[in-house]
Amino acid sequence: MSELVRLTDITKVYQGGITGALNGVSVTVERGEFTAIMGPSGSGKSTLLNLVAGLDRPTSGSVEVGGTDLGKLGEAGLARFRRDHIGFVFQFFHLLPNLTALENVLIPAQLKGTVVPGRARELLDLLGIKEVADKYPARLSGGQQQRVAIARALINNPTLLLADEPTGALDMHSGEQVMELLGRLHRDGQTILLVTHDAKLATRHAARVLSVLDGKIVDDARLESPERTASEVIRVRSEEASR
Amino acid sequence: MSLKYGVMGLLAEEPLHGYEVKNRFEAMLGGTWEVNIGQIYTTLQRLERDGLVRPMGARGDRGKLLYELSPDGKKALDEWLAQPDSGPQQLHEDIYVKLLLATRLANGDLAQLLGRQKRAYLQRLRDLNRLEERARRDGRIDLARLVRGALLHTEADLKWVDELTADAHGGKTE
């Protein structure tokens, strides 16, 4: 594995409040990693994701993605970087209501100047929603909308897939399906950074969990994945047996 | 948890001898509760004494002796199954005592303790996730439900540690 993201001594100060601020964050992410970022609301975890995406700039410190120092890019360069290297999935999907699912998926490709309807249909098929290609977002369930949003995030083959609470607006079943999908993409080699408050879902797929608190990374846990038997993980026992 | 009612529940399905009870009991719980054959025989003898199970046929080689649930046993089992678990909350793990001591002792490092415990809970969540997946894949819905219960408990434990950690930082929680 090689390094894909490097944050060095990042601070982010917001005018008129401390919510979401960052204070001295340094961390690296390897290619192919599935990393979950967890922390209470206002801890700075979404800020962290936005800085990596080039959606926001740090007050000080540097953000490098794939060897590119984002601080050295102007606004146009940053927009190009986002288009070519970043796929972003949001909590509330952000699909354009007057475009069909397929047309929504194609937006980032069109911005890049490529026409790839075949690839878009392939992605919808891969995500199990090819039948909704010509439907408008209002006709789709939350889970379907989020899968369209994931297809849109993947259309330009991003180096890095970022997801900010992608299951936050979904019921449990749809949320599990979306996470299952992210897990599959990861197994196929996709590097993923996921912001979530759901530790159950996060640990199912992410083998690394960063904990953010008050603008700092307070823990960086790398989890193991051995095949453990039930008796190694759970003990159900009687009072007699535990005495 | 009661081995006594576990044994009675299995005998409610069909008459079994001691080794079958042991094997079925352990298989039912996916190996999360191992019992030795001695415990099973002691339990069967007590149940027989109390008229809740009875041996079928002649008492020869006791390993071959089949036991069935008696009508009184069936009644006792039904009552037990209908009864909710309403006793005190069980907190068996050492972390609760460690927490109290780390708070009281001058050299107890609470932040370190919480950090290490959080990692242990995250790892447990990951292990339980994989276990649940495997149980579903194997068609063991009953076992998957048991694991799901453990998973949600661990999630609550993790939230508790997160709250304490935020407390220690003087911050706020969700």
Assess if residue B90 is contained within a domain: no
Put simply, the answer to whether A233 touches B169 (Cβ < 8 Å) is no
**CB contact, 8 Å: A241 with chain B?**
yes
Q: Of B52, B82, B112, which one is at a domain's C-terminal end?
A: B82
Q: Where are the beta strands (DSSP E) in A1-156?
A: 3-12, 22-30, 34-38, 60-65, 68-69, 86-89
3-state SS, residue B17: strand
Q: What is the CATH number of the domain that holds B45?
A: 1.10.10.10
What is the residue type of A125?
D
Put simply, the answer to whether A211 touches B118 (Cβ < 8 Å) is yes
Distance CA A88, CA A82 (A): 9
Query: Within a 10 A sphere around the Cβ of B129, how many other Cβ atoms?
Result: 20
Put simply, the answer to whether B151 touches A200 (Cβ < 8 Å) is yes
Contact residues on chain A for B118, CB-CB shorter than 8 A: 211, 219, 221
Digit-coded pLDDT (tens) for B29-61: 998 998 999 999 999 999 999 999 999 976 665
Same domain, B76 and B18: yes
Assess if residue B146 is contained within a domain: yes
Contact residues on chain B for A203, CB-CB shorter than 8 A: 122, 125-126, 129
Same domain, B58 and B113: no
**CB contact, 8 Å: B118 with chain A?**
yes
3-state SS, residue A220: strand
Same domain, B38 and B102: no
Same domain, B24 and B63: yes
A20: Cβ contacts below 8 Å, ≥ 6 apart: A12, A14, A42, A43, A44, A46, A47
Assess if residue B87 is contained within a domain: no
pLDDT confidence bin for B112, thresholds 50/70/90: confident
Same domain, B72 and B99: no
How many Cα atoms are found within 13 Å in the side-chain-facing hemisphere of A199? Answer: 31
**CB contact, 8 Å: B7 with chain A?**
no
How many angstroms separate the CA of residue A233 from the nearest CA in chain B?
Answer: 7
Residue at token pair 């460690």 = B98
Q: Of B35, B59, B82, which one is at a domain's C-terminal end?
A: B82
Distance CA B27, CA A167 (A): 35
Same domain, B11 and B72: yes
Mean pLDDT per block of 10 residues along chain A (243 residues) reads: 93 82 95 95 92 95 95 94 92 93 93 88 90 94 93 93 92 88 92 94 93 92 89 75 39
Same domain, B10 and B56: yes
Domain boundaries defined on chain A: 3-242
Residues facing A163 on adjacent strands: A89, A194
Residue in chain B closest to A224 (alpha carbons) equals B123
Question: Based on the structure, what is the number of domains in chain B?
Answer: 2
pLDDT confidence bin for B107, thresholds 50/70/90: low
Of A9-23, A92-106, B4-18, B69-83, least confident by mean pLDDT is A9-23
CATH code that applies to domain A3-242: 3.40.50.300
The domain of B7 spans 3-82
ipTM of the prediction? 0.86
Assess if residue B173 is contained within a domain: no
**CB contact, 8 Å: A228 with chain B?**
yes
**CB contact, 8 Å: A172 with chain B?**
no
The CA-atom distances, in angstroms, between A185 and each of A97, A180, A201, B28, B167 are 26, 9, 15, 35, 37
Number of helices (H), then strands (E), in chain B: 7, 3
Task: For chain A, give the number of residues.
Answer: 243
Backbone φ and ψ of A173, nearest 5°: -65, -50
Query: Within a 10 A sphere around the Cβ of B59, how many other Cβ atoms?
Result: 8
Put simply, the answer to whether A230 touches B30 (Cβ < 8 Å) is yes
**CB contact, 8 Å: B174 with chain A?**
yes
Same domain, B101 and B153: yes
pLDDT confidence bin for B134, thresholds 50/70/90: very high
What is the CA A137 to chain-centroid distance, rounded?
Answer: 21
Distance CA A186, CA A178 (A): 12
Contact residues on chain A for B173, CB-CB shorter than 8 A: 40
Q: From edge to edge, which strands make up the β-sheet containing B66-69?
A: B16-17, B66-69, B53-56
| Cα radius of gyration rounded to whole Å, chain A | 19
- The helix or strand, by DSSP H or E, that contains position B55, with its residue range, turns out to be strand B53-56
- Give the per-residue pLDDT at B57: 77
Query: Residue-wise over A83-95: b if at least 16 C-beta within 10 A, else e?
Result: bebbbbbbbebeb
Assess if residue B89 is contained within a domain: no
